[in-house]
């Protein structure tokens, strides 16, 4: 299982989520095209089992993951899908930063100095705009 990426709150459920943050200052219509592939042979699908929803003692929300008892390779595939267009009525003016940084998931205490009440922390920068940027 890989590291869950925010905003995908339930890993392994087949629903993928992302942020659209690359807005300019102008309003307008946008469209979305999604390209998926087998990730160089790494894509798998769960094998159907007789496990019913609720029979596993696993939460299915908010940072959880859906366990896969067994998987099989998908084989080679590539798909491109064009989504509907949508309208942004107000763009983001240049110089404004309306998006918070991504979640810090690996905060560590590196050093504590009792005599000066100092604490050195370290973490990986997740992204300047949710999970994008620096």
Output the CA–CA distances (angstroms, integers) from residue 10 to 2, 72, 118, 131, in the order listed: 12, 21, 37, 16
- Extract the tokens encoding 29: 């219509």
Residues 6+ apart with CB under 8 A from 71: 44, 45, 46, 47
- Divide the 134 residues of the chain into consecutive groups of 10 and give the mean pLDDT of each group: 58 75 84 91 78 55 67 93 90 82 86 93 80 70
Position 10 scores a pLDDT of 73
Element (H, E) at 80: strand 78-82
134/117 Cα distance (integer angstroms):
30
Q: What's the DSSP call for residue 117?
A: T
pLDDT reported for residue 3: 45
Residue 99: per-residue pLDDT: 80
Where does residue 23 rank: exposed (0-12), middle (13-18), buried (19+ CB within 10 A)?
Answer: middle
pLDDT of residue 91: 84
Placement of tokens 């942004």 in the chain: 88
pTM of the model: 0.50
DSSP of 7-72: T--EETSS----------SS-EEE--EEEEE-TTTT-EEEPP-SPPTTSSS---SSSEE---S-EE
Comparing C-alpha atoms, which of 111, 105, 110 is closest to residue 124?
A: 105
């Amino acid at each position: 299982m890989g590291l869950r990426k925010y905003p995908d709150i339930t890993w392994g459920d087949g629903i993928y989520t992302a942020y659209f943050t690359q807005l300019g200052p102008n309003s307008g219509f946008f469209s979305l095209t999604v390209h998926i592939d087998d990730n160089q042979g790494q894509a798998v699908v769960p094998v159907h089992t007789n496990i019913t929803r609720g029979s596993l003692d696993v939460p299915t929300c908010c940072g959880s993951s859906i366990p896969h008892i067994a998987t099989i390779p998908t084989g080679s595939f590539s798909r491109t899908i064009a989504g509907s267009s949508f309208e942004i009525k107000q763009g983001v003016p240049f110089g404004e930063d309306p998006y918070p940084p991504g979640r810090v998931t690996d905060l560590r205490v590196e050093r504590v100095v009792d005599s000066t009440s100092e604490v050195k922390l370290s973490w990986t920068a997740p992204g300047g705009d949710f999970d994008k940027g620096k």
